[in-house]
Amino acid sequence: MKEFFNMGGYALYVWGSFGMTALCMIAEPILVRHRRKITLQRVSRLVRSKTAKQSTNSSGDM
Amino acid sequence: MKARQKRLIFILVGLAILGLATWLVFNALGNNMSYFYSPTEVVQKKAPENHVFRLGGMVVNDSVQRGKELTVRFAVTDTANVVNVEYTGILPDLFEEGQGVIAQGKLADSGIFVASEVLAKHDENYMPPEVADALKKAGMKPGGGKQ
Amino acid sequence: MSSNRINWFKYSSPATFYPLAGKLAPWFTAIAVILIMVGLYMGFFVAPTDYKQGEGYRIIFVHVPASWMSMFIYLVMAFWAAMGLVFNTRMSGMMVQSLAPTGAMFTFLALWTGAFWGKPMWGTWWVWDARLTSELILFFLYIGYIALHSSIDDNRRADRATAILVLVGVVNIPIIYYSVQWWNTLHQGASVSVKSGSSMASVMLISMLIMAFAFWAYTIAISLARVRSIILERERDKQWVSELPEIKQ
């Protein structure tokens, strides 16, 4: 087990590489998910305000 | 012809011109893109005089001599010519006779290359120790070539 | 026109590509996860130690796949950039947009893992040889694309301007690849090539290829997911967007 973490003396370099790779490939999907969430919120708000405007406009014809 | 076809031709011609321009630029830059000079180039006085440059090649077998403290002398070859190097400092782990090396420094009047930095250059072969040993016993080198 | 012909242009419409991307992304995510697990297992527990670099060589299992992806993604971006210029399709520009961040990430990883590999083996974190320098330039090209696109308000104009940038920069890809052949470099030559096969032990090679496919599947999954957000952002005024179930009325 200890040998595995030691990587023959190259621990800093091997884990420094795999660690950064893992970090990036975990962070990126999280960021993409977050972008979708924000986008859905923004577009929903936009659509809602548009339909609200339409209903106030049409309620103006009496 | 359709606008789309015109656009396609425009792009292809543009890329062709760009490729040509790039080829011309890199041809002009030529050896300046190379990271090091070979021993042959140094012997033929193609390396800069009185200026720091890099020498690259293979460490000649049985040429490594360790002197006082961290001083070491060795020879670098490209199989055609040899340059002697003197270096004071810690050598990289992969520094080894018969292996690639790149030294940065200046050529002294004596013809010895005094290095301020030595890097190990390794090849593109990867194999377990057993395979390497078997190759060695068969008189072959890892890249495929006689010892 | 025969009715058997597939109308590829159908998927060049954001409205049809959006649901398709949504259906495909989970599959590629699953493939990526499985391949990464298999690749990591093989890379750490099956592949033997290296005769010269010991356990340190295992960095190859992320460094080479990341480097390959950094170049391959750029080529795909260049393809879509050219398609966008020729066919004037919005979807092409959106594909370029969806790939760039992942391409930049893999380029960064290629440089980072390369530095962490170079320090113990070569004796230095960085050199300005042709291979490393051209890969760094690739990173700047990705960043340049992202910066230029976000600096232009009109998306169609941004697509066209950045398409030129991407296509001009594509000349860097063969430079990166052939640098180790054309010039004297510290970086060694290719261990794997179509022409000359491989100079790696089979198990090492297979593990590395599995990781390469894993990164490729990851890239597809991520860019399909990202393009959906890009489509929603750019097509937000369209009727079909307002009718999507995920848009809360």
Mean per-residue pLDDT pooled into runs of 10, chain B (147 residues): 77 81 78 86 91 95 89 95 95 93 94 95 94 88 65
Of the two residues B6 and C198, the one the predictor is more confident about is C198
| pLDDT tens digit sequence for C49-102 | 999 999 999 999 999 999 999 999 999 999 999 999 999 999 999 999 999 999
For residue B122, list chain C residues with Cβ-Cβ distance below 8 A. Answer: 52-53, 121-122, 188
Q: What share of chain C is helix, strand, coil (3-state, %, to 5)?
A: 75, 5, 20
Residue with tokens 């260049």: C78
pLDDT at C1: 45
> What kind of fold does domain B35-121 have according to CATH?
OB fold (Dihydrolipoamide Acetyltransferase, E2P) (2.40.50)
Question: What is the percentage of chain C residues whose pLDDT exceeds 90?
Answer: 90
Structure tokens at C19: 């649901």
Of C156, C142, C175, give the one whose Cα is nearest residue C87.
C156
CB contact under 8 A, C54 and A10: yes
Of B106, B51, B67, give the one whose Cα is nearest residue B83.
B106
The letter for the amino acid at C142 is Y
pLDDT at A29: 98
For residue C184, list chain B residues with Cβ-Cβ distance below 8 A. Answer: 34-38, 56
Chains touching chain C, criterion 3+ CB pairs below 8 Å: A, B
Burial bucket for residue A8 (CB in 10 Å: 0-12, 13-18, 19+)? middle
Residue with tokens 């297979």: C206
Hey, where are the domains in chain B? 3-32, 35-121
Give residue A54's pLDDT band: very low, low, confident or very high (50, 70, 90): confident
CB of C90 closer than 8 Å to CB of C156: yes
DSSP reduced 3-state for B17: helix
Of the two residues C46 and A51, the one the predictor is more confident about is C46
Distances (CA, A) of C110 to B53, B105, C105, C115: 27, 29, 9, 8
CB contact under 8 A, A7 and C109: no
- B119 vs C118: CA distance, rounded Å: 10
**Mean pLDDT, chain C, as a whole number?**
94
pLDDT at C2: 46
DSSP annotation of C44 reads I
pLDDT at C8: 67
Distances (CA, A) of C204 to A17, C58, C207, C216: 18, 9, 5, 19
Mutation target among B37, B72, B127, B140 for the C interface, most CBs of C within 10 A? B127
| pLDDT tens digit sequence for C2-13 | 455 666 677 789
What is this model's ipTM?
0.93
